[in-house]
Amino acid sequence: MTSPKVDSESVPEEGYERGLGSRQVQMIAIGGAIGVGLFLGAGANIAKAGPSLIVMYALAGVIIFFIMRALGELLLYRPVSGSFAEYSREFLGPFFGYFTGWTYWLMWVVTGMAELTAAAIYINYWFPQVPQWVSALVFLIVLFAANLISVKLFGEIEFWFSMVKVTAIIGMIVIGLGVLTFGFSAAGDTATVSNLWQFDGFFPKGIGSSLMTLQGVMFAYLAVELVGVTAGESENPEKTLPKAINTLPWRIALFYVGALTVILCVVKWTEFAEGVSPFVKAFAVIGIPAAAGIVNFVVLTAALSSCNSGMYSTGRMLRNLAESGEAPRVFRKLSSTKTPALGIGISVIFMGIGVVLNYTVPEKAFGYVTSVATAAGIWTWLMILVSHVMYRRQVVAGRLPASSFPAPGGSVCSWIAIVFLLFVTGLIAVDADSRICLFVMAGWALALGIGWAVLKNRNPQVAERREPDLEKVG
C-alpha cells in the first residue's frame, strides 16, 4: 500500500497541520480508555454487581476492541479527519453521515457540559471559597485558548493529562499488589484474593444485576474512538494508528480489569456505594496520607482531559459537516494556526450554557447527561461497525482496495459487536433511570430529520452520493 496522499485539492482534512506525533497519538488513545467513569462511576457499579463487575469490564473491553479494529481497517483504507461521519456518508449514504456527524458533536457537547461542572466541583474540594461558576469559566477559557493555538498544544496537554491518569492507576495496582503480597499497611490483615468470592459469591446480586451495569461500563469506554478523529492530523497514520489500536487490549486489561481486580482484593466489595470512588476508598483503607486529595486531583485531570478532547473533536466534526454541505459553510474556515476555530468556539458556547444550566437542575442532571452521551456514543459505534461491514462487502466484491490493516475475522467480529450494542440499548430501555436518554435521542433524531429536509430543499445535491477519491487510500 502507498502512503495516503494529502494535498489541498482532494481531501476533506485539507489545511490541517499533521502535528500529532506518535507519542501524542499513543497517549490520546490511552487517555481515551480512562475516564471519570472508572475513577468515580465504578463505585456505584461495584455496589450493584460486586466482583462480577470485573467480567463486565472485560466483556465490554473485547467489544470495544472489535469496534476499534473495524475503525482501524477503515482508517487505513482512507484516513480522514471526522472519520465516523465520512465513512457513514460513503457506505450508508449522505443522511447517515449527516446524522452521525451531528450526533457525535452532541455527544461531546453534553459530555463537556458535565465535565466542566464536575471539574469546578473538584476544585471546591481545595478552594471552597471560589464560586463554582468562576472555576468552570476559567477552565472553559484556558482549554478553549489551548485548542485555538495549535493541534500540537492540544496533543501535549492531552499527553500530560493521560500521564497523570496512567500513573495513578499503575500506582494503585503496584501498591495493592504489595499489600496482597507482603501484608503491609492497615489493609494487610483483610486484603486477600478470596475477597472476590467470600461475600455471597462472585455474582452476589445475580447475573441480571451484573448485566444491568453494562450501560455504565460502556460510558466508561466513551472516547476510546477519539483516536479516529486524529487521523487527519497524525504525522504518520499508517504507523501510529495500528499501534495505538493494537495496544488497546493490554490497556483495558491493565487499567480496568487489573485495577478493579486489585482494588476488590484489597477492599471488600460490600464497602462500596454510589458516589464513593473505588480509588479513594482503596487508598483510604490502605492508609495512604491525603488519599482523597490525590484522587481528587486525578479525577479533576480526567474531567479536564475529557473536556479538552470534546473541544478538539467537535470543531473537527463541524468542519467535516460543513465540507459536505451539512452545516453552515463558514465552519469550513481554518484559523491562521490551522485549527477550526469557529467550530470550536460555537461548541464552547454550548458547553458554557451547560455550566449555567447545571446550577438550576438537580444533581440527577449529571446522570441524565451521561446517559445521553452514552446513547450518542452507541450510535457512533454502530455506524463504525455497519460501515465496516459494508466496506468488507465492497472489498470482497473487488470494488474497493483492501486496507493495509484488516480486522481479524473480516466482518464477523463487527456483527458480534453490533448485536452486543443493541443488547445494551435494550438494557437502557428497561432501566427507569436511564431510559430518558432514548426519549432525548428520539427528539434529537426528529430535529435532525427536519434539518435534513430543509437542507435537501435548499440544496438537493447534498443528498447525492459522492464517490471518494481513492488516491487517499492508505
> Is the CB of residue 278 less than 8 Å from the CB of residue 286?
no
**Mean per-residue pLDDT over the chain, rounded:** 83
Mean pLDDT for 364-378 is: 77
Q: How does residue 9 score in pLDDT terms, banded at 50, 70 and 90?
A: very low
Distance, in Å, from the CA atom of 7 to the CA atom of 339, rounded to the nearest integer, reads: 17
Cell match 493490554: residue? 250
Q: What is the pLDDT of residue 231?
A: 63
The share of the chain scoring above pLDDT 70, in percent, equals 87
Summarised one tens digit per residue, pLDDT across range 442-466 is: 999 999 999 999 999 888 888 787 6
Q: How many CA atoms lie within 13 A of 409 on its CB side?
A: 12
* Sequence-ordered alpha helix ranges (H) in 127-247: 132-149, 151-182, 207-211, 214-220, 226-229, 237-246
Q: Which pLDDT band, with edges at 50, 70 and 90, does 117 fall under?
A: confident
Name the more confident of 34 and 19: 34
In whole angstroms, give the CA distance from residue 250 to residue 259. 12
CB atoms within 10 A of CB 24: 24
Better-scored residue on pLDDT, 24 or 283:
283
Angle (CA) 122-219-171 rounded to 5° is: 55
Q: Residue 80 has which C-alpha cell? A: 480522514
CA diameter of the chain: 72
Question: What count of other Cβ atoms lies within 10 Å of the Cβ of residue 404?
Answer: 15
Q: What is the pLDDT of residue 59?
A: 95
Summarised one tens digit per residue, pLDDT across range 63-112 is: 999 999 999 999 889 877 667 888 999 999 999 999 999 999 998 888 88
Is-contact 329 322, C-beta < 8 A?
yes
Interatomic CA distance for residues 151 and 20, integer angstroms: 7
Residue of 300, 254, 290, 262 lying closest to 278 (CA atoms): 262
pLDDT for 10 beyond 70: no
Percent of the chain beyond pLDDT 90? Answer: 31
Q: Mind listing the pLDDT tens digit for each residue in 160-183?
A: 888 888 888 888 889 889 988 887
- Tell me what pLDDT residue 82 has: 61
48 has pLDDT over 80: yes
- Residue 287 predicted with pLDDT over 70: yes
Residue 108, C-beta contacts closer than 8 angstroms, at least 6 positions apart = 309, 310, 311, 313, 314, 317, 347
Of 70, 33, 51, 143, the closest CA to residue 420 belongs to: 70
